Amino acid sequence: MHLSDETQSPRDTLFIPAFASFYDQLAQPLAWVVLRLAVGGMLMVEGWPKIMAPMAQTGFVESLGFYPGWLWSPLLAVLQVCGGFFIAAGLFTRPFALANGIMLLITYWFHATHPYGDALLTQTGMAAIAAGSDLFTPEGVTRLADGGTRFLEQVQTKAELASLFWAGGALLFAAFGGGYLSLDRLMMRRQF
């Protein structure tokens, strides 16, 4: 099997031309597999709690305009878990990756347009920290000293960047398929 021209390393562009075969036959196919396993695995891990409570997202998806929520909530859970499995396996990679990529872009849009807020703690919580309450560990007091503002900014940034990164990974597989060592290529002798 030959990799497509987009992924091959022309000998004349490499610092060490003798490595071209190593890149083309081992490094690049292995990198596709590792990234595919990471993207698919992450989707399964993130989707598993939603499978365990399939109706938990009903109000949330309706607040985004996806009606009826009783249909979209379990559908999104199944899309994440099953889609993640199919992406990791490299089977029907493109359609599952495209669907999950779109879902992750919507997730990114949501996090970017609906920030967590200015503070985690209420005035009562701030008073408990100031009073030296034993409800908080020393690390918790440090993290929440400003009412949790900096902590929430970190959570917000992480949510946005994670959504954007995983959407990019999923859309990469939607564009290029499962790669050299995918079940699409091994079983069907072609990419879906």
Q: Residue 121: is its pLDDT beyond 90? A: no
Could you tell me how many residues make up the chain?
192
162 with 103: CB under 8 angstroms? Answer: no
Q: 77 in a domain, yes or no?
A: yes
Select from 102, 99, 87, 91 the least CA-distant residue to 45.
87
Question: Using 50, 70 and 90 to split pLDDT, how confident is the model at 142?
Answer: confident
Q: 5 in a domain, yes or no?
A: no
What's residue 84's pLDDT? 97
What's residue 1's pLDDT? 41
What's residue 12's pLDDT? 73
Q: 140 in a domain, yes or no?
A: yes
Question: Using 50, 70 and 90 to split pLDDT, how confident is the model at 2?
Answer: very low
155 with 118: CB under 8 angstroms? Answer: no
Q: 115 in a domain, yes or no?
A: yes
What's residue 185's pLDDT? 85
Q: Residue 148: is its pLDDT beyond 80? A: no
What's residue 155's pLDDT? 83
Q: 168 in a domain, yes or no?
A: yes
Q: Which domain holds residue 99?
A: 11-188
Q: How far apart are CA 187 and CA 178, in angstroms?
A: 12
Q: How far apart are CA 9 and CA 19, in angstroms?
A: 9
Question: Using 50, 70 and 90 to split pLDDT, how confident is the model at 11?
Answer: confident
Q: To the nearest whole number, what is the mean pLDDT of the chain?
A: 85
What's residue 153's pLDDT? 83
183 with 91: CB under 8 angstroms? Answer: yes
Q: Residue 5: is its pLDDT beyond 70? A: no
3 with 24: CB under 8 angstroms? Answer: yes
Q: 143 in a domain, yes or no?
A: yes
User: Of 122 and 182, which is predicted with more confidence?
Assistant: 182
Q: 2 in a domain, yes or no?
A: no
Instruction: Indicate the number of domains in the chain.
Output: 1
Least confident among 8-22, 49-63, 87-101: 8-22
Q: 4 in a domain, yes or no?
A: no
